[in-house]
Amino acid sequence: MAAGPDWGRASELDDISGAVAIAGIGETAYTKASGRTAKQIGAEACERAIADAGLEPSDIDGLTWSGSFADFDAAAFHEHFGTSHDLWTSPWGGGMAWAATAPYLAAQAIKRGAARHVLNVFPVAWATQRSEMTGGPGEVHAAQAMKQNFEVPFGWFPQPVYFATIMRRHMVEFGTTEAQFGAVAVACRRHANLNPDAVMHGRPMSIDDYLASPFLADPLRLFDSCLISDGGAAYVTTSVERARDLPSVPAVVRGVGEGYSGTGTHWAQQRAFTSTPQVFSAPGAFAMAGLGPSDVDLLTVYDPFTVVSLMQIEDMGFCPKGEAGGFVEGDTLFHDAGKLPFNPHGGLLSHAYVLGIAHVVECVKQLRGVAAAQVPGAQVAVYGGYTGHMASTLILTQDR
């Protein structure tokens, strides 16, 4: 069934365009199993983001993290840094879709005077935990009652099965080919090979390599699927005025959007099966920013599978619905030659699976002009977050 306004909704967000900026970023190493805990990883990411912003831990008076993965919350912050001051806090930050909306929460807190410098953090140690059969997206989904009762008994589990089904539907509806899905994977791997911090750095991949990779669930191949890794990142949001007084070049928040499917996490029942809630999220973000898809210099999206990339490219307005397959062919997605430089750090497919927060950090690096695979003249960067039933959009620009 064609996407329409009746299968989801957009959140009503206040206009915060130009009010806040990301003034500090920090990352850990992105690795396979490291033997570290997520708490240790989160602490390191926070240290680096605070230092990059030219601040001290005592200057941080706001903290956002993911309530679903509360590995580095307010208690962990105070324990690690030896602080005890009051913090404005929210568990609706971290990664995934919330990596895009955390700056909106920070802007609201800053506007109310509840905080001045808000730190957002998200770490994972899923590669380390994998040997213990704990952690990771499979365990999280298996714990959901709706999935246990209405999807798992019918074989619709885990994630590769979900998205193999969606891929096949996209192929049937729109004529999308295997090689077109492969174009996304190849572009991300090309960028990862230019990025020494990427897990897949030094492991090139051609379209022939992609087509020779084994199926996880037909038609979804091994290289259509994201990594499982250890790592984390953090960033500091503050007012634009304060950001200009800090040492690092600010990335100004110009637009934020948020959209939901009416089916919630039970998205097997979403009527627009080959669409994402970006159809509700992206328009509001672009309207807030006073920009459009044609103004975007680089796009990063939450890319657990190649089909999610194609759907978001369509749903965010970079090409008509159903035409992303043809749109991404050739060098379209390359950082240095393409019409739409895409996930220039390598994305979840080839950089690391830290659930989107590294995508936001990459946007900031690109706007600073210090990225490993630098997009020439990058002035407008967009992150598209995704969690199945929810999507978000974050538009960042150079300070101008």
* Closest of 43, 102, 95, 96 to residue 73, by C-alpha: 43
Neighbours of 398 (CB within 10 A): 17
Cross-strand pairs, 234? 26, 121
User: What does the alpha-carbon distance between residue 108 and residue 335 come to, in Å, rounded to a whole number?
Assistant: 34
21 beta partners:
238, 252
Give Cβ neighbours of residue 236 (< 8 Å, ≥ 6 apart): 22, 23, 24, 25, 49, 50, 52, 53, 55, 60, 117, 118, 119, 120
Tokens representing residue 281 in the block: 């999220």
The residue from 162, 210, 260, 353 that is catalytic is 353
Q: Provide the 3-class DSSP secondary structure of residue 273.
A: coil
Is 302 labeled as catalytic in the residue annotation? Answer: yes
- Report how far apart, in Å, the C-alpha atoms of 393 and of each of 258, 277, 317 are: 6, 10, 12
Q: List the catalytic residue out of 210, 235, 260, 302.
A: 302
Query: Has 353 been annotated as catalytic?
Result: yes
Question: What are the Cα distances from residue 340, in Å, to 107, 127, 129, 240?
Answer: 29, 31, 36, 28
Cβ contact 263:269 at 8 Å: yes
Tell me the chain's radius of gyration from C-alpha atoms: 19
- The string over 180-192, giving b where at least 16 C-beta atoms fall within 10 Å of a residue's C-beta and e elsewhere, is bbbbbbbbbbbbb
Q: Go through the chain and tell me how many residues it has.
A: 400
Q: Which residues are catalytic?
A: 302, 353
